[in-house]
């Protein structure tokens, strides 16, 4: 069977020497604690459950593997375990060499019906959840396990001790966090260093050229230009950044116009308006104000200069931040993934953009010399005034004797979820 983009013919065994030689080549990165190369673009499996059958899912995964992507991001809550099950059946059918594969999964979080609240305080439950993930995937260990949400009421020392025990027991090679405040990550790193325990080696917030005006989903975090400086000072190169919603749910592929940012208002989720509620959360996050539209227009100009697509520039922005910055990309379209992954191919012109390019994308700072090129309004986009200046950073607060910008986990501003709405949440696709 051939994929719809003609990338590869489905192999009987995907791990043979012949098949390995036919794969594409992506820029490799390293995550501390993971003893193998990790493709700089990581495939997010969160929508695998929505495909009609295993054949369709396997064809997509074959295409992802053929591009040279060797890293896959899963979670216990994705499709209530169906995504991990499908991933596991694909791995078994393709006999892929485990040493060539990087498997990441996440746990310690309720499903949508409980607003994705953390469960890390119930350590036996999290351990059982981890064991179920291993069984569904059909592997004896995970390269990386992330705690999907944080429980700020739980001392980080207890969390580090528990995750260290999971590494020691052989369940996982390394661990990290997702949607944690920087102050909590800093405290976990300090305790691990002082006690000789395994530290968190990955952090997974929303990280994109499109900065949300608020947390996209309940109890999630996002990266900003100001916060990144503090994050780099705290992590000192010892923590990988695994950014989710790097394409801002399609905003950086051209979805939504400035008109979609008008007349935005929170709505209460009910049993019959889940799709409208989800759309409003995304538009409130990404379309509220001119900042992201201005950034997208500048990205379109750079795409024209470099003769690449807009999504490639958006992903290149994430990859160019540092050698330990990775981009998670989740899609059920093989052709979209093939296009997106070009940003991380060997020889990519966007995977290591200049500081001048990055600053231009972020704030419109004029480029000079070789970095500059004549600018023209991007096709099919009306000319607009110059970008608004970046918002001033929030006042810094002291945490453990150090000063940080406002925490990565942003205050919530969602309309209340009704009892009927809680039931309706079960019917919609999983969120980060």
- Identify the pLDDT of residue 276: 87
Question: What is the SS3 string spanning 22-65?
Answer: HCCCECEECCCCCCCCEECEEEECCCHHHCCCHHHHHHHHHHHH
What pLDDT sits at residue 303?
A: 98
- CA-based Rg of the chain, rounded to a whole angstrom? 21
Pairing of strands 175-178, 402-404: unpaired
| Residue 117 pLDDT | 56
- pLDDT, position 103: 98
What pLDDT is recorded for position 108?
A: 76
Q: Positive or negative CA dihedral for 337, 342, 343, 344? A: positive
Q: What's phi and psi for 255, nearest 5 deg?
A: -70, 140
Tell me which H or E stretch contains 73.
Answer: strand 71-73
Q: How many CA atoms lie within 13 A of 44 on its CB side?
A: 24
Residues lower than pLDDT 70 in the chain: 1-21, 109-119, 369-432
Going by their DSSP bridges, the two strands 200-204 and 175-178 should be labelled as parallel
Q: What does the longest C-alpha to C-alpha distance in the chain come to? A: 60
CA angle 272, 276, 282 (to 5 degrees): 145
The helix-helix angle for 334-341 and 54-66 (nearest 10°) equals: 20
Mention every residue, 6+ apart, whose C-beta is less than 8 A from residue 217. 116, 281, 431, 432
In the chain, the domains with their CATH numbers are 17-255+308-351+391-425 (3.20.20.100)
pTM: 0.82
- Could you tell me if 280 and 296 are in contact, meaning their C-beta atoms sit under 8 angstroms apart? no
* Partners of residue 2 on adjacent β-strands: 9
pLDDT tens track for 280-289: 989 999 999 9
Q: How far is CA 355 from CA 137, 226, 232, 242, in A?
A: 40, 15, 16, 21
| Measured distance CA(158)–CA(348) in Å, rounded | 43
């Amino acid at each position: 069977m051939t994929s719809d983009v003609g990338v590869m013919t489905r192999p009987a065994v995907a791990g043979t020497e012949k098949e390995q030689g036919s794969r594409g080549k992506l820029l490799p990165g390293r995550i501390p604690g993971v003893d193998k190369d990790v493709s700089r673009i990581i495939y997010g499996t969160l929508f695998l459950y929505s495909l009609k059958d295993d054949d369709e899912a396997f064809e997509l995964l074959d295409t992802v593997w053929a591009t040279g992507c060797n890293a896959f991001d899963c979670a216990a809550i994705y499709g209530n375990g169906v995504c991990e099950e499908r991933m596991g059946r694909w791995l078994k059918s393709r006999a892929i060499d485990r040493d060539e594969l990087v498997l990441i999964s996440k746990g310690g979080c309720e499903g949508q019906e409980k607003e994705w609240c953390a469960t890390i305080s119930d350590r036996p439950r999290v351990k059982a959840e981890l064991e179920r993930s291993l069984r569904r995937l059909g592997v004896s260990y995970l390269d990386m396990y992330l705690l999907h949400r944080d429980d700020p009421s739980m001392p980080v020392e207890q969390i580090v001790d528990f995750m260290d025990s999971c590494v020691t027991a052989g369940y996982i090679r390394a661990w990290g966090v997702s949607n944690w405040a920087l102050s909590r990550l800093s405290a976990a790193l300090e305790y691990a260093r002082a006690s000789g325990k395994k530290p968190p080696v990955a952090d997974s917030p929303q990280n994109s050229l499109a900065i949300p005006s608020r947390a996209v989903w309940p109890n999630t975090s996002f990266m900003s230009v100001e916060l990144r400086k503090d994050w780099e000072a705290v992590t000192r190169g010892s923590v990988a950044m695994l950014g989710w919603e790097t394409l801002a749910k399609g905003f950086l592929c051209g979805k939504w116009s400035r008109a979609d940012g008008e007349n935005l208002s929170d709505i209460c989720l009910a049993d019959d308006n889940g799709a409208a509620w989800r759309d409003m959360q995304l538009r409130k996050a990404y379309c509220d104000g001119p900042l992201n539209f201005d950034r997208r227009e500048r990205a379109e100009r750079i795409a024209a200069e470099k003769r690449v697509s807009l999504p490639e520039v958006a992903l290149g922005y994430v990859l160019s931040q540092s050698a330990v910055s990775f981009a998670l990309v989740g899609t059920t379209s093989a052709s979209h993934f093939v296009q997106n992954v070009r940003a991380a191919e060997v020889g990519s012109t966007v995977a290591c953009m200049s500081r001048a390019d990055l600053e231009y994308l972020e704030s419109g700072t004029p480029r000079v010399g070789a970095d500059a090129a004549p600018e023209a309004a991007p096709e099919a986009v009306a000319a607009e005034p110059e970008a608004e200046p970046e918002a001033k950073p929030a006042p810094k607060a002291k945490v453990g004797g150090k000063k940080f910008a406002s925490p990565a986990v942003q205050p919530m501003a969602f309309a209340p979820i009704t009892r009927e709405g809680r039931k309706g949440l079960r019917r919609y696709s999983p969120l980060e």
